[in-house]
């Protein structure tokens, strides 16, 4: 069984090496590192340069398949990014060559790279080290943009990762990504020396993984109808019903992806979420659900985001079902770990079910948290029987877990701290900083969660907080960034949200903490962006410059993200519901209080007011919080946009009917005249409407002198 991810104790040698290298000289921290990301543990410049050109031969030891694979990977990178065709052969070292060599004493994933005028040597004890040494050499060869031969300054690099779990989670349940995209994404992870691909395959909105024994999991669970009026009107002529959206991963496709990842030193950790996030599976097999609670049935795979009350029941047949599922999962994924979710399992259905309560008494369990722990423990035993380990989100701590279970902390760092104190291995993956569905800067108008997690925020996160003792800190297996895809409808959007923040994640996960330097990282990021372009990575530019929050002046469009939300209880940047294909605006709002402030408008002459508005489906499972949302009483059937001056109370200064906009699935521009008032004033924007679904949002606002014609 492949075990790329090992226990915390197994990482100690590489961590010790990295730290000792970093501390070996007070001058070392000032040594330039070229354009290598993540920053190496130790870099020593040497005299001379190495000319890498088409005459350069890559030499590997005879019969060493892993060295051959690493050399071939390097040759492919040079071909794709500089157009160089390099020869790879087995044999003895020769002048002018790049030599791959085994160093049996090296720690996992560690390497040495020595570049001189007569060639380069990459030495490592395992495939990971050989691959990462090759990637560092490639980065040195692509510090300057261009094609053809590269000149590399002579240098000695001694490097090892700080953590053994350097991961990214991709959510393929909320939105499906093609196998081709996933393989490309894995390739890009490898270029950052990341080594764990956490694959979120099941959730309320889809079950993507083919299970041979239970075919309806994908036949039914892999497909749904988009939320919103536009999707309801998109009728599939073959069925006469709204068109289904989705996709599945066959077992052959999964095996191909797992093998592709392994060839890049990446282990794929699957996630099968239990006992919550269960709607898609229950839509396929209703007997898995809580059947004796009114309203608990799941007639179709839902399209709402948020936290559903739907849970699996706790009958013996359901546990056997999931044991059978896990048997197929471990056959597909040779990873040491399998992720069982365990998060956001609202216990209302279990509490309301006479049968579940009876089952708790049969099992002698005190409460529903203990019941979840019992459920999880059954699956963990099945995994242990296969020689695997369980990991779950930090909620699995609440009812108690077995000592061998590991914890992934997402609700801040507290779950990881508690897990480490209790003697559990843990992975740091906290929201919001490592949730890449958050926006990348204050001026980022992309869809996603409304909080910001900047490049600097990601880079500055320390996976071993001061609250941990040295012994507890050794329980931190590593760190992971998460790409939950509710608001990433397309593969391009996944790339945009992931890059370049993945570069910051990679350096934070790899580089000794004493070597971290954001200004130096930002300098090395520029050639990294050139590599992104050469490899076709669609990265975001919005967070590359740390801009002030000064909004555009009056007379210019001021977009929703350039205004102030009246509150930030649950801010989201939401995609309008039409058109179904192509680009759509993102509407930023606090869905618990849809209200916007246009700050400091000069009303001394009276102003023309324009607002571009649109609708989004209210497809959010937020429980009782839905009842707390207050909407203004409409004067007309379609409702109105109300504009108030100086505050959100009192009578509106301008009322714009929504009748025209209500019949448009896209964006509609409304306009009117604001009264003159001395000085500058904030404008408060709110909507009135009869029903919460769909919800109105603002794309942009412009206030301008009515005597002037402003350009768009």
- Hey, which residues are catalytic here? 203, 277, 344
CA 153 to chain centre: 36
Asked whether the CA dihedral 115, 120, 121, 127 is positive or negative, the reply is positive
Stated as kind and residue range, the H or E segment containing 319 is helix 316-332
Buried b (16+ CB within 10 A) or exposed e, 121-157: bbbbbbbbbbbbbbbbbbbbbbbeeeeeebebebbeb
| Angle value at C-alpha 559, between 558 and 565, nearest 5 degrees | 100
DSSP 534-563: HHT-----TTSS----PPPPTTS-EEGGGS
Closest of 643, 647, 566, 572 to residue 610, by C-alpha: 643
Stated as kind and residue range, the H or E segment containing 702 is strand 695-704
DSSP 235-294: EETTTTEEPPEE--B-HHHHHHHHHHHHTTT-EEEEEEEESSS-HHHHHH-GGGB-TTST
Q: Which two tokens stand for residue 611?
A: 């607002």
CA 535 to chain centre: 20
Closest of 80, 152, 72, 87 to residue 120, by C-alpha: 152
Burial of 26 (0-12, 13-18, 19+ CB in 10 A): exposed
- 3-state DSSP percent of the chain in helix, strand and coil, to 5: 30, 25, 45
Residue 334 to residue 72: CA distance in whole angstroms: 24
Burial of 538 (0-12, 13-18, 19+ CB in 10 A): middle
Closest of 107, 111, 110, 108 to residue 99, by C-alpha: 111
| Angle value at C-alpha 474, between 471 and 480, nearest 5 degrees | 145
Closest of 137, 188, 165 to residue 15, by C-alpha: 165
Residue 452 sits at φ, ψ, to 5 deg, of -115, 140
Asked whether the beta carbons of 174 and 273 are under 8 A apart, the reply is no
Closest of 709, 608, 612 to residue 669, by C-alpha: 612
Asked whether the beta carbons of 271 and 277 are under 8 A apart, the reply is no
Residue 704 to residue 683: CA distance in whole angstroms: 13
Taking every pair of Cα atoms in the chain, the longest distance, rounded to a whole number of angstroms, is 85
Stated as kind and residue range, the H or E segment containing 229 is helix 229-233
Residue 517 sits at φ, ψ, to 5 deg, of -155, 105
Q: Which residues, including other chains, have CB under 8 Å from residue 14's CB and lie 6 or more apart?
A: 107, 108, 109, 110, 160, 161, 164
CA 660 to chain centre: 38
Asked whether the beta carbons of 327 and 382 are under 8 A apart, the reply is yes
State how beta strands 406-409 and 389-393 pair.
parallel
Q: Which two tokens stand for residue 207?
A: 């079950």
Cis (ω within 30 of 0) for the bond into 500? yes
């Amino acid at each position: 069984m492949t075990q790329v991810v090992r226990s915390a104790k197994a990482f100690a040698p590489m961590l010790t090496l990295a730290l000792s290298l970093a501390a070996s000289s007070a001058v070392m921290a000032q040594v330039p590192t070229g354009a290598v990301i993540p920053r190496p543990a130790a870099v020593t410049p040497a005299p001379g340069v190495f000319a890498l050109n088409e005459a350069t031969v890559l030499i590997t030891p005879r019969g060493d398949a892993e060295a051959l694979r690493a050399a071939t990977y390097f040759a492919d990178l040079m071909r794709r990014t500089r157009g160089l065709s390099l020869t790879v052969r087995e044999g003895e070292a020769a002048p002018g060559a790049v030599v791959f060599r085994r160093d049996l004493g090296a720690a996992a994933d560690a390497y040495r790279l020595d570049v001189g005028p007569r060639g380069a040597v990459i030495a490592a004890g395992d495939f990971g080290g050989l691959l990462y040494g090759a990637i560092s050499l490639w980065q040195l060869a692509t510090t300057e943009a261009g094609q053809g031969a590269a000149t590399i300054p002579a240098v000695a690099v001694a490097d090892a990762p700080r953590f053994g779990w350097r991961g990214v989670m991709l959510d393929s349940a909320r939105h499906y990504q093609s196998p081709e995209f996933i393989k490309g994404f894995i390739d890009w992870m490898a270029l950052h020396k990341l080594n764990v691909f956490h694959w979120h395959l099941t959730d309320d909105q889809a079950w993507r993984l083919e299970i041979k024994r239970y075919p309806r999991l994908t036949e039914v669970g892999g497909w749904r109808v988009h939320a919103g009026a536009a999707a309801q009107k998109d009728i599939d002529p073959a069925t006469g019903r709204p068109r289904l959206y989705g996709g599945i991963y066959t077992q052959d496709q999964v095996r191909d992806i797992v093998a592709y990842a392994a060839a890049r030193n990446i282990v794929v950790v699957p996630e099968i979420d239990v006992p919550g996030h269960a709607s898609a599976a229950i839509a396929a097999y209703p007997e898995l659900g809580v059947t004796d609670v009114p309203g608990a049935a799941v007639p179709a795979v839902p399209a709402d985001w948020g936290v559903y009350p739907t849970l699996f029941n706790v009958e013996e047949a359901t546990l056997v079902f999931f044991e059978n599922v896990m048997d197929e999962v471990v056959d597909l994924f040779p990873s040491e770990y399998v992720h069982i979710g365990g998060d956001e399992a609202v216990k209302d259905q279990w509490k309301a079910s006479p049968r579940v309560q009876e089952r708790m008494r049969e099992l002698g369990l005190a409460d529903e948290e203990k019941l979840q722990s019992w459920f999880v423990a059954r699956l963990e035993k099945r995994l242990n029987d296969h020689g695997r380990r369980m990991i779950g989100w930090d909620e699995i701590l609440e009812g108690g877990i077995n000592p061998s279970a590991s914890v992934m902390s997402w609700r801040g760092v507290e779950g990881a701290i508690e897990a480490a104190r209790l003697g559990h291995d843990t992975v740091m993956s906290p929201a919001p900083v490592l949730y890449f569905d958050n926006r990348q800067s204050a001026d980022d108008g992309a869809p996603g969660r409304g909080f910001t997690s900047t490049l600097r925020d990601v880079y500055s996160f320390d996976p071993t907080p001061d609250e941990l003792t040295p012994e507890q800190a050794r329980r931190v297996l590593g760190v992971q960034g998460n790409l939950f895809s509710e608001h990433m409808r397309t593969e391009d959007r996944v790339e945009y949200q992931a890059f370049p923040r993945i570069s910051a994640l990679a350096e934070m996960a790899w580089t000794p903490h004493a070597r971290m330097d954001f200004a130096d990282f930002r300098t090395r990021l520029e050639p990294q962006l050139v590599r992104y372009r050469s490899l076709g990575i669609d990265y975001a530019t919005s967070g590359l410059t740390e801009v002030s929050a000064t909004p555009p002046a009056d007379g210019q469009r001021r977009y929703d993200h350039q205004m102030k939300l009246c509150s930030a209880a649950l801010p989201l940047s939401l995609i309008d519901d039409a058109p179904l294909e192509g680009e759509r605006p993102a509407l930023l709002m606090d869905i618990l209080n849809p209200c916007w402030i246009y700050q400091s408008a000069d009303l001394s002459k009276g102003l023309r007011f324009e607002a571009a508005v649109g609708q989004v489906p209210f497809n959010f499972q937020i429980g009782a919080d839905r009842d707390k949302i207050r909407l203004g009483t409409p004067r007309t059937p379609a409702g109105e946009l109300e504009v108030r001056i100086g505050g959100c109370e009192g009578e509106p200064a301008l009322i714009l009917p929504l009748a025209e906009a209500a019949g448009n699935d896209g964006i509609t521009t409304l306009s009117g005249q604001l009264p003159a008032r001395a000085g500058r004033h904030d404008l408060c924007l709110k909507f009135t409407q009869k029903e919460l679904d769909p919800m109105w949002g603002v794309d942009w606002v412009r206030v301008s002198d009515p005597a002037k014609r402003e350009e768009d």
